[in-house]
């Protein structure tokens, strides 16, 4: 809801420069996820979620102010809060659930995110449609969005399990050494940079690629909705079945298939818009599988007493890769065109499919890797 409302609100105020500056500030501050993860480990995951979500809600509400100064200040607050909440949820989940429960909870959380994006988009459209004039619509969405965040935190706090830490997640062995932390963090950072890089080569340019393939703008919106529906459906199945038994194999198959489908999209550009559309919907489903399997693997290899920090490092690395891919994407488009751009993204995806199991599959740090 807020992602749709913000650019429209600033555009109506003729303040897109302030919007761009604020957006960049939010991304940079959010990129310090490793620091926010360390804070979450220190104060507790659920406390980090409460603090981060509260800061994020205030930051989003403050985006109704379109001057550069307030935009920068509230964007920084929103970036720090969002990053802390997203990283803080990981140590909270890890501290409250057994290894067998984590995969289904990961699937359920991803499913909730996808449904939330879908519902938030429709909600923003409804607010805009019934608003008496444009400014009130975007302002209303920017004030309703933080209320939804606060409501979510209140519900999460009331629903938080009160049982003691399950024995399955208590580490009986000696704590990992500093060198082991560094090695694992480095491996996750490499994977995160590569993942962020190939994602930002496809996602930002997808609407343009579809239009260039012959799909009208209205058709682009329908196709994006179909891709979202495919992800929701696949994630719902994963939530029911879980990914605990063979997360490495599941990730390898899903990520490799995603890479192959991405390469096929590159070949189909300019050939058949129908083929492109079908391939993208299939790709969205396999992306959902890969995301859930990857997070399950991460929970298995990251030590319970450093979940926030190590997840934060992984998230920071992903954002760095995202920035690198976004910066390189425009140049690659100009030099080798959309087919070349998508082909590079597909090859990077195939590399990641092999790289993650290769780097993370050996037993490290925690006994739960075996699961």
Task: Quote the Cα angle for 285-291-292, to 5°.
Answer: 95
Positive or negative CA dihedral for 294, 298, 300, 304?
A: negative
Give pLDDT, residue 58: 95
Greatest CA span in the chain, whole angstroms?
63
Q: How far is CA 27 from CA 24, 77, 230, 260, 345, in A?
A: 5, 11, 28, 30, 22
Whole-prediction pTM: 0.74
- pLDDT surpasses 50 at 369: no
| 149-205 per-position pLDDT tens digit | 999 888 887 765 555 444 444 444 445 556 666 788 888 889 989 998 888 888 777
Q: How far is CA 122 from CA 5, 76, 92, 234, in A?
A: 12, 27, 30, 21
Percentage above 70 pLDDT, the chain: 88
Q: How large is the average pLDDT for residues 108-137?
A: 80
| 276-314 per-position pLDDT tens digit | 999 999 999 999 899 888 888 888 788 777 778 788 888
| 100-116 per-position pLDDT tens digit | 777 778 778 888 888 88
Q: How large is the average pLDDT for residues 54-77?
A: 92
Structure tokens, 118? 């879908």
* CA neighbor of 289 nearest in space, from 247, 324, 331, 317: 247
């Amino acid at each position: 809801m807020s992602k749709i409302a913000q650019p429209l609100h600033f555009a109506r105020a003729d303040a897109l420069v302030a919007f761009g500056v604020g957006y960049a500030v939010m991304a940079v501050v959010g990129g310090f996820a490793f620091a926010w993860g360390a804070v979450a480990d220190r104060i507790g995951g659920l406390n980090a979620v409460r603090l981060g979500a509260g800061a994020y809600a205030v930051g989003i509400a403050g985006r109704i102010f379109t001057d550069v100064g307030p935009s920068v200040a509230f964007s920084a607050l929103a970036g720090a809060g969002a990053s802390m909440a997203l990283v803080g949820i990981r140590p909270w989940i890890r501290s409250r659930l057994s290894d067998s429960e984590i995969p289904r909870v990961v699937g359920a959380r991803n499913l909730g995110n996808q449904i939330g994006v879908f519902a938030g988009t429709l909600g923003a459209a409804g607010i805009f449609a019934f608003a008496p004039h444009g400014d009130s619509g975007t302002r209303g969405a920017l004030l309703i969005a933080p209320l939804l965040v606060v409501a979510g935190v209140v519900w999460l706090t009331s629903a938080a399990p009160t049982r003691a830490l399950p024995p399955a997640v208590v580490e009986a062995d000696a704590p990992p050494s500093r060198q082991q932390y560094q090695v694992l963090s480095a491996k996750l950072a490499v994977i995160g940079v590569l993942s962020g890089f190939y994602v930002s080569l496809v996602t930002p340019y997808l609407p343009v690629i579809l239009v260039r393939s012959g799909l009208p703008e209205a058709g682009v919106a329908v196709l994006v909705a179909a891709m979202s529906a495919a992800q929701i459906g696949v994630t719902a199945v994963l939530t029911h079945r879980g990914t605990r038994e063979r997360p490495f194999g599941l990730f390898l198959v899903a990520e490799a298939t995603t890479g192959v489908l991405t390469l096929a999209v590159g070949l189909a550009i300019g050939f058949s818009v129908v083929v492109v559309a079908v391939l993208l919907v299939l790709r969205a489903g396999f992306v959902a599988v890969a995301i859930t399997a990857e997070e399950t693997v991460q929970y298995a290899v990251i030590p319970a007493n450093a979940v926030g920090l190590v997840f934060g490092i992984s998230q920071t690395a992903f954002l760095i890769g995202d920035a690198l891919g976004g910066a390189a994407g425009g140049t690659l488009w100009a030099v080798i065109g959309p087919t070349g751009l998508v082909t590079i993204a597909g090859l990077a995806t195939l590399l990641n499919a092999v790289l993650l199991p290769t780097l993370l599959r050996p037993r490290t740090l925690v006994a739960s890797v075996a699961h």
